[in-house]
């Protein structure tokens, strides 16, 4: 990101004796206009005070530290990926609190100028996948899942064979290959009570008999 400086900006830079400050103002003049406006706006300073002082009750010097870190991110001097770590180290807070502060600042200050910040930090959006790529990835994932499931599934038992059937008209074969004749009559078992005769003898007329 390189922007041609105006003669007025060059004149102002020549009046800054400190090299670090001069370098940062040079980077500031090369920022997108929305970032330049936001860095020194009352809205930004008010958001920093509301978040750091009123919400998280930081000391005044720590509020200034938060504002300085935000400025370095605007200038691209501090990588935005190191935002939480820098808050944690400079403020002496734990990771959870640093994450909470960073999240609030991201929503209130960084999110409205997200596109410009991405350009300053050299972050490019990845190409949006089309529908064909999405379906291909889904099908590949499903195929891999099926392959894994097939490896862990127990083997299926072979199908049961039907038992051989034999019609009543054929004779069974004995152990010696001789035909075993089917009996043509059955002996009537003994000691079987004829219920009809018992009912008739006892004059049973059903459930309502007396």
Specify whether 38 is located in the same domain as 110: yes
Measured distance CA(105)–CA(84) in Å, rounded: 11
pLDDT digits (tens, 9 = 90+) for 108-164: 999 999 999 999 998 866 554 455 544 454 455 556 556 655 555 556 666 777 666
Give residue 14's domain range: 1-30
Question: Is residue 184 one of the residues assigned to a domain?
Answer: no
List CB contacts of 40: < 8 A, sequence separation 6 or more. none
Specify whether 20 is located in the same domain as 94: no
Number of domains in the chain: 2
pLDDT digits (tens, 9 = 90+) for 25-55: 999 999 999 999 999 899 999 999 999 999 9
For residue 84, which of 102, 57, 64, 108 has the smallest C-alpha distance? Answer: 102
């Amino acid at each position: 990101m390189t922007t041609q400086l105006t003669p007025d900006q060059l004149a102002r830079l020549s009046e800054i004796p400190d090299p670090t400050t001069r370098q940062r103002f040079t980077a500031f003049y090369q920022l997108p206009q929305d970032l330049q406006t936001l860095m020194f706006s009352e809205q930004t300073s008010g958001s920093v005070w509301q978040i750091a002082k009123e919400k998280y009750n930081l000391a005044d010097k720590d509020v200034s530290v938060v504002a300085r870190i935000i400025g370095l991110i605007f200038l691209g001097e501090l990588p935005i990926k190191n935002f939480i770590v820098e808050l944690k180290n400079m403020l002496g807070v734990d990771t959870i609190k640093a994450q909470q502060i960073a999240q609030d600042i991201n929503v209130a200050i960084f999110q409205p100028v997200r596109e410009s910040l991405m350009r300053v930090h050299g972050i490019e959006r990845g190409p949006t996948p089309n529908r064909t790529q999405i379906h291909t990835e889904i099908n590949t994932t499903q195929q891999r899942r099926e392959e894994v499931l097939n490896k862990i599934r127990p083997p299926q038992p072979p199908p049961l064979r039907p038992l051989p059937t034999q019609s009543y008209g054929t004779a069974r074969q004995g152990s010696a290959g001789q035909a075993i004749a089917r009996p043509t009559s059955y002996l009537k078992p003994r000691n079987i009570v004829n219920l009809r005769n018992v009912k008739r003898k006892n004059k049973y007329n059903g459930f309502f008999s007396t």
